[in-house]
Amino acid sequence: MKKAQTALLEWYEIYGRHKLPWRLTDNLYHVYLSEIMLQQTQVNRVRDEYYPQFLAKFPSLKILANAHQDEVLAAWSGLGYYSRARNLHKTAQLTQEGLPHTTTELMALPGIGNYTASAVCSFGLGQNIPVVDTNIARVIKRHFALLDPKVKTIWTQAEIFVNAQEPRSHNLALMDLGSLICLPKNPKCEICPLQSSCLGKSEAEIYTKTKKTVYESMELFFGICIKDNKVALLTSTQKMYQGMLVLPSTEPIEEDFIASFKHSYTKYRLVVNLYKSQVIDQDVKWIDINEFRSAPISSLTKKALKFL
């Protein structure tokens, strides 16, 4: 175990992603924000765009807490999974003076589960605890040859494996190893620092078989109504885009057809049809075309509005 821990840290020292901005700080809010953003979002998009822009607008929990939810959703626009932004805002309102320092207290806050709480405590506070995301789980299952283990079993094994001397670097190293080397398909076992101690290397892929995702197809019909350089939008009450501005639904009339495009959202594969519309709904908000960037507009709606 000690040899594996040492080999892992030596590899991380050379090949780890040390320059990611949230790894260069011990600011708990910054670490927490990065973990929320990195859920379901590519590292490069978070690092290069959303993380710095969001912190520039909301540099502290207190400033975030005092912001209007529309401002928060606007800053989150394009990242998707908008419940993350709403929970982030709620948590800021509950912890304006600072986030708690235990996983139990963190998990009592909106939108924070076992992984996020552990990541904040490990990466932000250096606590001697395991962290298990999708990448780390894959490494643990293969290295210890765990076939179809329960989630609790993976966490228990990860806890046994934690390097008590350098827990933060150990967890980050496992994360990077899963992201760069121990890939879901065609893992690069020949250059893995854990190759000599890996119990599942000869049949790596049987330990991480995943069920094929079944996607649900859906067709949507939206109306675009423009007056005086403004577009009619509604505040969504549906779970998918709750609180975001979306185009109103409309009846499909062939002569009013504008365009059609495809859009993916979680398990849904959408076909979106756009039509010219004469909106009479009293609840619409008229948003100036020049204000789209600062409005809480969903990524689907942004894609639709490009047809303007």
User: Each residue of 61-96: pLDDT tens digit?
Assistant: 999 999 999 999 999 988 888 889 999 999 999 999
- Tell me the CA end-to-end span of the chain in Å, nearest whole number: 60
- Distance in angstroms (rounded) separating the CA atoms of residues 172 and 166: 10
The secondary structure element, H or E, covering residue 275 is strand 268-276
Query: Could you write out the DSSP letters of every residue in 84-102?
Result: HHHHHHHHHHH-TT---SS
pLDDT, tens digit, 9 for 90 and up, residues 189-237: 999 999 999 999 888 788 777 767 778 888 989 999 888 889 999 888 8
Active site residues: 35
> What pLDDT, on a 0 to 100 scale, did the predictor assign at position 116?
96
**Mean per-residue pLDDT over the chain, rounded:** 91
- Distance in angstroms (rounded) separating the CA atoms of residues 124 and 42: 21
- Distance in angstroms (rounded) separating the CA atoms of residues 231 and 250: 15
Q: How confident is the model at residue 280 (pLDDT cuts 50, 70, 90)?
A: low
Residues in contact with 39: Cβ distance below 8 Å, sequence separation at least 6, in sequence order: 81, 84, 116
- Distance in angstroms (rounded) separating the CA atoms of residues 198 and 2: 13
pLDDT, tens digit, 9 for 90 and up, residues 101-115: 999 999 999 999 999
The secondary structure element, H or E, covering residue 263 is strand 257-265
Check pLDDT > 70 for residue 52. yes
- From the number of C-beta atoms within 10 Å of its C-beta (0-12, 13-18, 19+), residue 147 rates as exposed
- Provide φ and ψ at 298, rounded to 5°: -65, 160
Check pLDDT > 90 for residue 295. no
Q: Stretch 267-274: mean pLDDT, rounded?
A: 88
> What pLDDT, on a 0 to 100 scale, did the predictor assign at position 67?
95
DSSP state of 249: B
- Distance in angstroms (rounded) separating the CA atoms of residues 204 and 199: 9
Asked whether the beta carbons of 239 and 255 are under 8 A apart, the reply is no
- From the number of C-beta atoms within 10 Å of its C-beta (0-12, 13-18, 19+), residue 46 rates as buried
- What type of residue is 280? I
- Distance in angstroms (rounded) separating the CA atoms of residues 168 and 260: 48
For residue 102, which of 87, 124, 86, 85 has the smallest C-alpha distance?
Answer: 124
What share of the chain in percent tops pLDDT 90?
A: 64
Asked whether the beta carbons of 115 and 121 are under 8 A apart, the reply is no
Check pLDDT > 90 for residue 138. yes
The secondary structure element, H or E, covering residue 220 is strand 216-224
Check pLDDT > 80 for residue 162. yes
